[in-house]
Amino acid sequence: MKILGLVGSMRKEGNTNRIVQAIFDGAKQVDGSVETETLQLSELKIGPCRACYDVCANEPYLCVHKDDLQVALEKMKEADAIVLGSALYFNVPSRLLALIERLSCVAHLGQYKGHNEHPLADKPCCLVAVSYCTPPNAIFATLQQFTLEMRMRPVLLKSQPFYGVAGTDKMEKDEFLKPLESAKEMGRLLVQSCG
């Protein structure tokens, strides 16, 4: 079983990455053979949708612009489960928003043409949001809508009042959300969701 973690932050070793890695740790506690891969969005070149409608309108999930979108999508397709993490940069960082925008566009336009293909459908996923102090609801709203559009299956934790795992810069001191502990629990649940 393979889990792909997307770190939606411009800092590779930041708090978003810490929570993603803690989810991996939890998953490996349940099944030591779980493989993990981290995709750092800071290393990907993904530009915005240019609304050209040239290819995606006829071939869903194909975009005429060849950049790292295809790399990210292929890795997402290959994975059995996906962790989607984001830091709060007012909302999600612009590079992550570009990925969301492009994938949502190719999904929608295919549907208008009668296609109903969703290569990520039913894939279990979990959402991660990290901020300094602002409640991370804006991130969860964006990621939640994105996963629904992709027909993915977000896994929820009973212990969290959010649509995933939330954390702040003061992770260790957070006695209420316990982000790293919750992340491990999420990892265990994610493996079980893969059935």
Ligand X SMILES: Cc1cc2nc3c(=O)[nH]c(=O)nc-3n(C[C@H](O)[C@H](O)[C@H](O)COP(=O)(O)O)c2cc1C
User: Which residues contact ligand X by CB under 6 A?
Assistant: 9, 11, 14-16, 87-90, 130-134, 169
Instruction: Decide: helix, strand or coil at residue 165.
Output: strand
CB of 192 to ligand X, least distance (A): 27
Locate 119 and state its tokens.
């290569």
Residue 95: CB minimum distance to ligand X, A: 12
CB of 96 to ligand X, least distance (A): 11
CA dist., res. 110 & res. 11, Å (int): 34
Residues 6+ apart with CB under 8 A from 101: 48, 49
Least distance from ligand X to the Cβ atom of residue 133, Å = 4
Which residue, 16 or 36, is less far from ligand X as judged by CB? 16
Residue at token pair 């991130």: 139
141/194 with CB nearer ligand X: 141
Q: Which two tokens stand for residue 76?
A: 């997402």
Cβ count near 18 (within 10 Å): 19
Cβ distance to ligand X smaller for residue 90 or 176: 90
**From the CB of 46, what's the least distance to ligand X, in Å?**
17
Q: Is the CB of 49 or the CB of 130 nearer to ligand X? A: 130
Is 61 within 8 Å of 102 (Cβ atoms)? no
Which is closer to ligand X, CB of 89 or CB of 149? Answer: 89
Tokens coding 131: 């901020």
Bridge partners for 168 per DSSP: 131
Name the residue number minimizing CB distance to ligand X: 14
